[in-house]
Structure 1
Amino acid sequence: METTPLTPYARLPRAHARRTILSSTVDAFGQAHWLLAGPERGSVYDALVVTVDDGRVHETRLSAVTARYPHVDALPDGGFVVADARRRGNADHVQVFDALGRPSWSFAVGDGIGHLLADESGDLWVGHFDEGVFGDDPLSSPGVRCWSPTGEAVWTLKPASEVEYVADCYALNVHAGTAWAYPYTEFPLLRLRAGRPVTVWTTPVSGASAIAVHGQGVALFGGYGGDSDRLVLCTLTKTSAEPYAHGTLVRPDGSAIGRRRVVGRGPRIFVQAEPYTAWEVWDLSAAE
């Protein structure tokens, strides 16, 4: 099986090495962000977002953060959204901060957040894992939803009519106004656009953790057990994703990836291996 190396993309400056990395992502515009906190973190704490954009570094201090298990992303106005993966009771667990790091408002999107990605307009696409889908929070039971940055429901997946079953959103890709989801149990590929019908393709791949899309091409990265670094390239037909190549993604030095975070943005899969200080990337559009 052919190995394909990732390419270095962005690195957290060494000056921040002593802080705890709470979360990290690559936003809709290609900027990498790290959410950092000091060793002493209470139920309400201050945090630092370090942004790396083509080698340039910017810092934003966030005040009164409440998320215990945070997801972070950037908004197009320079602000940030921080969401707690677990919602406590009826609490608002999504905080929006302005460009100066001040809390602006908060709202709820449902328990069990596995993925939270803002698009270029600032809308928030949220994919939930199984405890959110099957729990007692009705906001998360659809499995995939889109919210405005002020907490208004924009779009909701309707499993009964649009896809047979969603138990867990394994992968989510958001780019250029379109979201792509890959849910358990049947692992179809879903194209999601607010105000338009869902398009569904069957896939032959189980357990992937990231997807990349370019034209009629799709890449599925990850899998169960020994397939954790698997990369499957497919062509979209009318109803299915048909594989034409199999490979393995590796670190730039050729080593296995190990524990990682992943983010899908259009044709690119961003991978952040433990200890989560650097993002690396693979681009489907360059591979075709």
Structure 2
Amino acid sequence: MKSILKIPMNPIANLNEELKQMTPLSIALGHENDVFVLLVEEQIPLIDGCFPATVTEKSYRYQVIHLKDGQKKVLDLPKETWNYHYIQPIDNEHILLVCARSYYHDAQNIEENARVYDENGCFIRSFCLGDGIEHVYVTKNQEIWTGYFDEGVFGNYGWENPVGQSGLVGWDASGGKKDSLEEDEEYFIFECLALNGIDDGGICFFFSTDSKIGVRREGLTSYYSPEDIYFRAFAVNGETIVAHQGRGERTLFELQREGNEYKTVRKIELMKPDGKPIEPQLVNNRESKLLFLDGDELYMYEAKSGA
């Protein structure tokens, strides 16, 4: 039985007023220790109760909350017909909103499910990042990385040759494809469960089936085996990974690399000021940090190297 370290935490922000009228969809850590929260006024219904829509006939109101240096800025997008799932900052003046799904109607009609806005809410450009997106991550140098779930890998929504068939793809800030794992035959990424950046500019990811952690730098990937754990978000600092298994889970797992393996050294519980553990509804990661939304409170935890 691994030891459990309980760490007291204080919220970095409260969204009580914003969540009275809006529902949180996605949270993201920015490049400068700032935070983004994507909200929608009304939940978009599933097609036949099962499948997420891409473009809707009815328009919906979204808001983006940007928290930086103790200040809160609200960006209002009152009439959107895209079904957004993810938010990421591109630079200090632009954000990226992404729908997880995209229809391939034909070669001349491919839905552009990634849309860039400036800080005033003005639409700048759009492009396609493919269907079946599980994770989106934008690096400091404005590279966009997308990890895909099974429908993005095998094809659906009209895609016979899906963009995400390798499970992981890198793009430039305008949606031009820069990198993927298509020529990597060592492992098959059935679904990319977690995705993060490394402070040296590399990308780190975790995928199912083979249950491997991949670290990709300059077109080359190294693979490592974690010890009996699946996770959907993680912080990475040197040889240390702190992993979170998914929505509602309250236990973190700290792993240390030993050769080609990551071994669990302890469990961590983050405790709220009232003494109860954080039970996040939404989680996001950027390099060494994890961001959690529990109710209307945001918490941030930073992994320590070799701690």
Same fold (TM over 0.5): yes
Indicate the residue corresponding to 1:24 in structure 2: 27
Structure 1 counterpart of 2:196, which letter?
N
Structure 1 residues 212 and 40, CA gap change in structure 2 (3 angstroms): closer
Q: Residue 298 of structure 2: which of 279, 282, 285 is its match? A: 279
Deviation for aligned residue 1:278: 2.6
The aligned length equals: 282
Counterpart-to-counterpart distance in 2, 1:282 and 1:32: 13
Match among 93, 96, 108 for residue 78 of structure 1: 93
Matches within 5 A, 1:110-189: 110-136=130-156, 137=159, 138-158=162-182, 160-161=184-185, 163-176=186-199, 177-189=201-213
Asked if structure 2 preserves the Cα contact closer than 8 Å seen for 1:250 and 1:257, the reply is yes
Contact between 2:102 and 2:131, CA under 8 Å: does it hold in 1?
yes
Confirm or deny: 8 A CA contact 1:23 1:70 kept in the other structure: yes
CA distance in 2, matches of 1:100, 1:119: 22
1:243 maps to 2:267:
no
- Compute the TM-score of the two structures, normalised by the length of structure 2: 0.81
CA distance in 1, matches of 2:81, 2:96: 12
Q: Pick closer, same or farther for the CA change 1:221–1:132 going to 2, 3 Å.
A: same
Q: Which amino acid aligns with 2:203?
A: A
Name the SS of the counterpart of 2:234 in structure 1.
strand
> What is the match of residue 100 of structure 1?
120
How many Å apart are 1:244 and its aligned residue?
A: 2.2
Contact 2:247–2:283 (8 Å) recurs in 1: no
Aligned equivalent of 1:11: 14
Other structure's SS at 1:115 match: strand
User: What SS does the corresponding residue of 1:198 show, helix, strand or coil?
Assistant: strand
Contact 2:42 2:61 in 1 (8 A): no
Instruction: Answer whether contact 1:271 1:279 (CA < 8 A) is retained.
Output: yes
Separation of aligned partners in 1, 2:10 and 2:169: 32
The answer to whether the aligner puts 1:88 opposite 2:90 as a matched pair is: no
User: SS where residue 151 of structure 2 aligns?
Assistant: helix
Q: Is the 8 A contact 1:212 1:267 kept in 2?
A: yes
Q: Which amino acid aligns with 1:265?
A: R
Structure 1 pair 239/39, CA: closer, same or farther in 2 (3 Å)?
Answer: closer
Tell me if structure 1 keeps the 8 A contact 2:62–2:76: yes
RMSD: 2.7
Q: Give the TM-score normalised by the residue count of structure 1.
A: 0.86
Distance in 2 between the 1:118 and 1:149 partners? 9
Contact 2:195/2:204, CA 8 A, preserved across alignment:
yes
1:163-196 residue CA offsets vs partner (Å, 9 max, x unmatched): 4121111111124322210111122111123x23
Deviation (angstroms), 1:250: 4.4
| Residues 7 and 282, structure 1, Cα contact 8 Å, conserved in 2 | no
Q: Which residue of 1 aligns with 2:70?
A: 55
Deviations 1:71-110 (A, max 9, x none): 1111214111111011123211111112321111111111
Could you tell me which runs of 5 or more consecutive residues in structure 1 were left unpaired when the two chains were aligned.
Answer: none
Q: 2:234 pairs with 192, 208, 211, which one?
A: 211
Q: Compared with structure 1, are the counterparts of its residues 222 and 159 closer, same or farther at alpha carbon in structure 2 (3 Å cutoff)?
A: farther
* Alpha-carbon offset, residue 263 of structure 1: 1.2
Q: Can you give the 5+ residue segments of structure 2 that lack an aligned partner in the other structure?
A: 45-56, 105-109
* Structure-2 separation of matches of 1:83 and 1:124: 11
Q: CA deviation at 1:116?
A: 1.0
Give, as a single letter, the amino acid of the residue that structure 2 aligns with 1:211: F
Return the letter of the residue paired with 2:96.
Answer: V
CA contact (8 A) 2:166 2:188 kept: no
